[in-house]
Amino acid sequence: MKKLLIISLVFGCFYSQPLVAQTTAQANATEQVQQEVQEAIETFLYGASVNDSAAHRAFWSEQLTYTSSSGTRFGWPELAQGFSEAPPLAESEVTAWYTGENFEFKRFGDAILVNFTLVLTPVNSTEPTQRFYNTGVLQKQHGQWRAVNWNATKAMTE
């Protein structure tokens, strides 16, 4: 009986190391994907702040379904109609900056769901900062993370 316990412990040590290594590799891959997605969102938010239509085209998927904070739902064609072909604004011309905070990620196969708080900070300090709870589903398309579904909800003010 004692021999069987020792043999079990020895085999357990040999077989648990690959499992630990696999779990660590999966955690690192997940962390890398989360970082890529957060960077894609932050790059988009900067582009949205400076009114860069290229940032919108790079971020939103053609399969997009978008539900706005005002309760309207539309897709890529309607969103694209609002783009201006004017060059992006200089930072000195920006009227409000969009940033994100409190990012949370959930991975589902080749897609990732992200929840975060979008913060709209007006440059004019007399206007209040606004917060929106955003939930997006992104999928890697053509080598970059693109939003296929998006929901925005205005956060209650305190």
Give the pLDDT band (50/70/90) at residue 28: low
Over pLDDT 90: what percentage of the chain?
A: 68
pLDDT at 27: 55
Amino acid 119: pLDDT? 97
pLDDT in tens, 73-98: 999 999 988 887 889 999 999 999 99
d(C-alpha 133, C-alpha 131), whole Å: 7
**CATH for the stretch 2-154:** 3.10.450.50
Place of tokens 């904070």: 69
Percent of the chain with pLDDT over 70: 81
In DSSP notation, 80-144 reads HHT---SPPPPGGG-SEEEEEEEEEEEEETTEEEEEEEEEEEESSTTSPPEEEEEEEEEEEETTE
Say what the pLDDT of residue 86 is: 82
The least confident of 1-15, 26-40, 106-120, 122-136 is: 1-15
Report residue 21: phi and psi, to 5°. Answer: -65, -40
pLDDT at 18: 55
The full set of domain ranges for the chain reads 2-154
Average of per-residue pLDDT across 2-6 = 54
| Confidence check: pLDDT of 21 > 50 | no
